Amino acid sequence: MYLSKLFIPILKETPSEAKIKSHQLMLRAGMIKQSSTGIYSWLPLGFKVMKKIEKIVREEQNKIGAQELLMPTIQSAEIWKESGRYDDYGEEMLRIKDRQGKEMLYGPTNEELITEIFRASVKSYKSLPQILYHIQWKFRDELRPRFGVMRCKEFFMKDAYSFDLDDEAAKKSYNKMFFAYLNTFKRLGLTAIPMAADTGPIGGDLSHEFVILAETGESKIYSDKRIFDIDINKYNNSDSSIEKLRKEYDNFYAVTDDKFNKNDFDKKVEKEKQLTTKGIEVGHIFYFGDKYSKPLNCSVDLQDGKKVNVKMGSYGIGVSRLVAAIIEAKYSNNVMKWPDQVSPFEVAVIPSLQKNDKSNYLKAEKIYNFLKDSNIDVLLDDTDEHLSAKFKKFDLIGIPHQIILGSKSTDNKLEFKEVNGKTENLSLEEIKNKLVNKRNIN
Amino acid sequence: MYLSKLFIPILKETPSEAKIKSHQLMLRAGMIKQSSTGIYSWLPLGFKVMKKIEKIVREEQNKIGAQELLMPTIQSAEIWKESGRYDDYGEEMLRIKDRQGKEMLYGPTNEELITEIFRASVKSYKSLPQILYHIQWKFRDELRPRFGVMRCKEFFMKDAYSFDLDDEAAKKSYNKMFFAYLNTFKRLGLTAIPMAADTGPIGGDLSHEFVILAETGESKIYSDKRIFDIDINKYNNSDSSIEKLRKEYDNFYAVTDDKFNKNDFDKKVEKEKQLTTKGIEVGHIFYFGDKYSKPLNCSVDLQDGKKVNVKMGSYGIGVSRLVAAIIEAKYSNNVMKWPDQVSPFEVAVIPSLQKNDKSNYLKAEKIYNFLKDSNIDVLLDDTDEHLSAKFKKFDLIGIPHQIILGSKSTDNKLEFKEVNGKTENLSLEEIKNKLVNKRNIN
């Protein structure tokens, strides 16, 4: 892609309404544009990053055997009355009347609807266990939307639902998702810590919030520092291995505000191992048994002919929020560097261009074409801006690798820079191999 | 995937509310489930097909240089008041008041919002031409939703918007999209004919509807039969080639109801070449100049400092509707056969299984594992149903290739069937190669 053709409205100034760095960067780099309060359009750069995050989330769900479907955004109020949440949910639920006066709503979550699908489709214990998920837009009519896509009204979310015969089987599903979440965040370049959490309006008795550390986070967290050293690569996809992983995490104190108790904290964690800081919630998992299956009468036949309400859990990841969360984690000293796996492009070619001398332009184009033909996703800055202005722009765009064609470059070796890393002089072939190898690692 | 694990609630009977065959099949094969009137959930089988269609639509948009972004589903009423369509649109627009009483709506289309994004982002003639598109859920509050996802309320649609400096450049963008549409539908296994059409509520003076023939179609169409013989493979992506393609289509009479004139038809088309039939609209393209850019004040600076309102076109493809349209075209004599490119699986392994004899099961599993290891997307019917019941089920699921393990199969050669085609006895290696080759052609 040529930068002059890319639809990327870069802003020179930071808009005053943006209080945190992810919101600032996303507006300045032309990743999003607010269309009305708390509702955003995703411009090509932001969209591309979000799609890459979505793909990783999807792959890790599929790996644990979850099946993807898609529920609509607009739901009937009826099933929410069946579950009893229609009145409870409050003003954050966007309530709608259709042309016939029927009560509808824009789904803020999908426990009711998935339960209704499941009860109509599955009759026998033989079909269990089952995990279903979708990645769909949700709406919460926030009173004070803020921090850009971090706390907005319309947001993109993966929500999964597990269905099991009993508590024991259900905990296995819960643990599988726990494992999938750790792998998902790791592939996104994030260290997310599962924290014992309050179950809130979803209800139930077992819940973890996955939190990444960030000064701008809205969750206060209290933990044992050693929890950050757990190596999830030691574990595999089997039930027994995942159970060990769960146990290792359970060894260390890690809770959010709602569950915090100072006496407990001091008793369980030595002073010098205590970490009190802030974080951003990027995922949340719940086990709630028959909280929905009972009122909605979702049951299966057992082998002996008896009926049992299925035991359910629900599991969310904020896909659009993750774009901002990754920025909060990776944008520092005014330089953004996307993790390779979610970067909008793999490499940028940044030539110094003179009006009266086409040689650098032609050279840049040759490099660009070679990389493109090698299936590398490359952005060429073909604008006539000064090199220093280009660098400032790329500090916002955050592509992790740059090929810089200044005056210094010789014919055979190119200046290849890893953002926040070293600069090497490499041949084009060497650069290509480096990029392809990095891709294979991720 | 093992069929016993797949979330696919197959119905034995055709639900009485389904009047056309695509609606019947989608319900019976467990592709969709109605969640409220005219609003559907997409279950895994239907979701997979829709995603494959979406991918092809996206690839053909990208090929002509269109850039993908994503606008939200919920829009402010304000810009619709600016364009004057807020009052015009009628009751099909789902109108919403948020918790603060602000007038919002669920976008039925996006001319206003994209114009607003463009005017805030692009200032100079240098950035044109530009084509932007997104693939997003839309909502039209149909008075009488019917025919399943063919005429429903919440639907998935690709809509693109072109921005040019003058009519001449804009027609080039229009023609590019014309070309992309023909290629898109061809890759989907459909013959879609561009018909001169009325511009309707979108407005403007140049418009084509892309229609596939189907008895159940809601559009009445009148055409010269020869238009079906045009070979789009003769043409390429260049402006001049695409213009010739446009001209070839313009040679033949082809209009929908709104534009039909009997005298014209009889004058331009000999009796024996006249075709009067019904069709399904799967795409619609419009050129409307400054219809939106003028009221919304979307202009760019020309080289001489003057300002000009950009000239726009809009281009829609009904992605969710296409799932049903393909079924209408490909489901006959109670047998469905998906085009390879959008089939939910590439091949089904269908063994006859006896309770007291594991040999066929083990053989089937071996075949399944071999194909899976060869990266072929395969469905294994591991249920204990009778073979004839399995065949009936697969007539609904519509996977185009089957490996049948009846009593006849010898050890080395397998019964490989192409649905509605021939049955051959092939080795597993030969089957694999056949499937991989077919994939490379599509």
State pLDDT tens for residues A357-380. 889 999 999 999 999 999 999 999
CATH class of segment(s) B21-336: alpha beta
Nearest-CA distance from B118 to chain A in Å? 9
| CA–CA dist B379, B396 (Å, integer) | 14
Nearest residue of chain B to residue A94 (CA atoms): B98
| CA–CA dist B358, B361 (Å, integer) | 5
Ramachandran sector of residue B129 (left: φ over 0; alpha: ψ -120 to 50; beta: rest)? beta
Choose the weakest-confidence range: A50-64, A394-408, B315-329: A394-408
**pLDDT at residue A197, rounded to an integer:** 79
CB-CB under 8 Å, B73 with A137:
yes
CB-CB: which of B35, B72, B96 is closest to A96?
A: B96
User: Residue B304 above 80 pLDDT?
Assistant: yes
Beta bridge pairs of residue A284: A209, A316
User: Residue A225 above 90 pLDDT?
Assistant: yes
pTM: 0.96
The domain A21-334 is placed in CATH, from the list 3.30.559.10, 3.40.50.10540, 3.30.930.10, 3.40.50.2300, at: 3.30.930.10
Q: Does B137 touch chain A if contact means CB atoms closer than 8 Å?
A: yes
Nearest residue of chain B to residue A156 (CA atoms): B72
Three-class secondary structure of residue B5 per DSSP: coil
What average pLDDT is seen over chain B?
94
**pLDDT at residue B365, rounded to an integer:** 97
pLDDT top residue among A410 and B361: B361
Domain span(s) for CATH 3.30.930.10 in chain A:
21-334
Nearest-CA distance from A180 to chain B in Å? 19
Mean pLDDT of A94-118: 97
Choose the weakest-confidence range: A333-337, A404-408, B64-68, B380-384: A404-408
Query: CA A172 → CA A161, A165, A234, A292, B376, distances in Å?
Result: 13, 11, 19, 19, 30
**pLDDT at residue B440, rounded to an integer:** 79
Contact B61, B68 (CB under 8 A): yes
CB-CB under 8 Å, B74 with A153:
yes
Q: Name chain B contacts of A37, Cβ cutoff 8 Å.
A: 102
**pLDDT at residue A442, rounded to an integer:** 66
Nearest-CA distance from B408 to chain A in Å? 30
Tokens of A434: 């480096």
**pLDDT at residue B3, rounded to an integer:** 96
Q: Does B71 touch chain A if contact means CB atoms closer than 8 Å?
A: yes
Domain span(s) for CATH 3.40.50.800 in chain A:
345-441
Nearest residue of chain B to residue A103 (CA atoms): B36
Report B:234-293 residues touching A (Cβ under 8 A). none
> What is chain A's alpha carbon radius of gyration, rounded to the nearest angstrom?
24
User: Among B16, B39, B154, B141, which Cα is nearest to B89's?
Assistant: B141
Beta bridge pairs of residue B379: B348
CATH class of segment(s) A345-441: alpha beta
Mean pLDDT of B51-75: 98
Percent of chain A with pLDDT over 70: 97
pLDDT digits (tens, 9 = 90+) for B124-167: 999 999 999 999 999 999 999 999 999 999 999 999 999 999 99
Q: Residues A391, A393, A397, CA angle at the centre, nearest 5°?
A: 110
**pLDDT at residue B414, rounded to an integer:** 94
Report A:363-422 residues touching B (Cβ under 8 A). none
User: Residue A204 above 70 pLDDT?
Assistant: no
Nearest-CA distance from B381 to chain A in Å? 14
User: Residue A216 above 90 pLDDT?
Assistant: no
User: Residue B202 above 60 pLDDT?
Assistant: no
Three-class secondary structure of residue A283 per DSSP: strand
Q: Which of A53, A55, A69 to mutate to test the interface with B (most CBs of B within 10 A)?
A: A69
Query: CA A179 → CA A173, A238, A393, B1, distances in Å?
Result: 10, 10, 38, 22
User: Residue A233 above 90 pLDDT?
Assistant: yes
pLDDT digits (tens, 9 = 90+) for A300-332: 999 999 999 999 999 999 999 999 999 999 999
Q: Name chain B contacts of A153, Cβ cutoff 8 Å.
A: 74
**pLDDT at residue B311, rounded to an integer:** 97
**pLDDT at residue A299, rounded to an integer:** 97
ipTM score here?
A: 0.95
Which residue's entry shows tokens 């492009």? A345
Under 8 Å CB pairs connecting chains A and B tally to 149
User: Among A22, A23, A42, which Cα is nearest to A32's?
Assistant: A42
Task: Give the β-pairing of B347-351 and B378-380.
Answer: parallel
CB-CB: which of A4, A68, A72 is closest to B154?
A: A72
Confidence of residue A202 (pLDDT cuts 50, 70, 90): low
Nearest residue of chain A to residue B46 (CA atoms): A69
Q: Does A121 touch chain B if contact means CB atoms closer than 8 Å?
A: yes
pLDDT digits (tens, 9 = 90+) for A268-285: 999 999 999 999 999 999
Contact A349, A368 (CB under 8 A): yes
| CA–CA dist B104, A403 (Å, integer) | 46
Report A:49-68 residues touching B (Cβ under 8 A). 50, 65, 67-68
Nearest-CA distance from B269 to chain A in Å? 44
Residues 6+ apart with CB under 8 A from A415: A403, A404, A405, A406, A408, A409, A423, A424, A425
Count how many residues are written for chain B. 442
User: Among B353, B408, B344, which Cα is nearest to B379's?
Assistant: B344
Q: Name chain B contacts of A139, Cβ cutoff 8 Å.
A: 74
Nearest-CA distance from A183 to chain B in Å? 23
User: Residue A217 above 90 pLDDT?
Assistant: no
Residues 6+ apart with CB under 8 A from A333: none
Mean pLDDT of B370-376: 97
